[in-house]
Amino acid sequence: MSYFDAASAAPLHPVARQALTAALDEGWADPARLYREGRRARLLLDAAREAAAEAAGCRPDELVFTSSGTRAVHSGIEGALAGRRRMGRHLIVSAVEHSSVLHWAEILEADGGTVTRVPVSRAGAVTPGAYEAALRPDTALACLQSANHEVGTVQPVAAVADVCRAAGVPLLVDAAQSLGWGPVEGDWSVLTASAHKWGGPSGVGLLVVRKGVRFAPQGPLDERESGRAAGFENIPAIVAAAASLRAVRAEAAEQAVRLRELTERIRARVPQLVPDVEVVGDPAGRLPGIVTFSCLYVDGESLLHELDRAGFSVSSGSSCTSSTLTPSHVLKAMGVLSEGNIRVSLPYATPAEEVERFLSVLPGVVAAVREKLGAPSSRTVAGVDTPDDALVVDALGKRCPIPVIELAKVIGDVPVGGTVRVLSDDEAARLDIPAWCEMREQEYVGEEPAERGSAYVVRRRS
């Protein structure tokens, strides 16, 4: 089985496994106690904190360990907002932040605060100017991920940090995806990360708060972790997290070159091997091991299952793999195709042979899924009784990618300049039909209200 979902959770690093086993014997006692076992546990905890702080580019007394990366994000946002409550309750986030950030933004809005969601380019990147424009006198905090978890696009953190610093606003950086590759550059104020993203054990997060940043931990105070993370420290997991972070950093430069070459191979060859594919994310400014592409006329869930049967574990931002049947907020913000979306994120030491096997299997898998769904192989359609230059496709009640498939089947039945109105009540159609038009060089006229759902109007150009 080839595991290609390291962006969700990287396999446990061998160094983490060794450190975890050793720390289970040495680090089980309460590090707050003064007897021998407690002192031994404290030494392990302090050494892990120093190693993690070195990797994060901060002082050891600025870093605390939390129970997860999500907990670190929530505590970081909550504490930073509370520390600056006299300034106001305005929060700035990018439209492609991790759900842990966006969920907190929703809570703030429900409680009377305000949130500005900064848009991104089609490659998934923000601009420092957009953050500067979003700043207000009542802005308490800005948030920006260092690199996107779905498409790998690296954000201009240092430039955004400069803009925020000039305005006196702290910047919280979610570095979950990038910290294993290197420190986050720039004059940021708060940083969060998660150990299972770099090959450490799950259940360990990092929260860094720079000295001088106004920060007020919320909830019942705890004497542990500077009062910023309540509860007994999981010292064996913390030790393993710090040890694996140091280990992956030592390998990062070499691995980055190798994995970047493999993902470049995927980016270049997938569109050659599979028709009607859009490779998404920044082609250059991205993490080494992530490549994401979307396939027209493919059910994302079926595609994932078929690849799993073929021996590949990949992930997807497609609405068809979601219990809510709504497209990924990242792909939606980028304005790219969401149907048939596949994210390949390669772990360290992925053999080149596994990538070649993936490339050999993928075309047949996609073709098989398209055939099952009745993807267009001709330009004929039955049951349409409309003028030659204005067809209506009723796709109500049909989920992705069926509305787009039915659009593709009939576009050739109208003359150049004629239109097709696709009736759909699937949220993904709002994103995928315009994306299809751009890929197939047709004109997306716009969305119109309908008795049920919406009507998406497409004009044939060629």
Q: What amino acid positions are annotated as catalytic residues?
A: 320
Cα 271 to Cα 296, 314, 427, distances in angstroms: 12, 18, 26
Among 133, 123, 74, 76, smallest CA distance to 96 is for 123
Q: For residue 280, give both structure tokens.
A: 């998404």
Q: How many CB atoms lie within 10 A of CB 419?
A: 17
Write the DSSP string, 267-317: HHHHHHHSSSEEEES-SSSB-TTEEEEEETT--HHHHHHHHHHTTEE-B--
Across-strand partners of 238?
none
Would you state the torsion angle of the CA atoms of residues 72, 195, 157, 249, taken in this order, to the nearest 10 degrees?
A: 150
> Quick one: DSSP state of residue 32?
T
- Residues in contact with 153: Cβ distance below 8 Å, sequence separation at least 6, in sequence order: 96, 123, 124, 125, 147, 281, 282, 285, 286
Q: For residue 13, give both structure tokens.
A: 């690093």
Judged by DSSP in three states, 236 sits in: helix
Contact indicator for 307, 360 with CB cutoff of 8 Å: no
Max Cα distance, the chain (Å) = 88
Q: How many CB atoms lie within 10 A of CB 219?
A: 10
- Residue 62 sits at the vertex; the CA angle it makes with 61 and 64, to the nearest 5 degrees, is 85
Judged by DSSP in three states, 55 sits in: helix
Q: In the block, which residue shows the tokens 């039909």?
A: 433
* Cα–Cα distance measured from residue 184 to residue 321, given in angstroms and rounded to the nearest whole number: 32
* Cα–Cα distance measured from residue 283 to residue 269, given in angstroms and rounded to the nearest whole number: 14
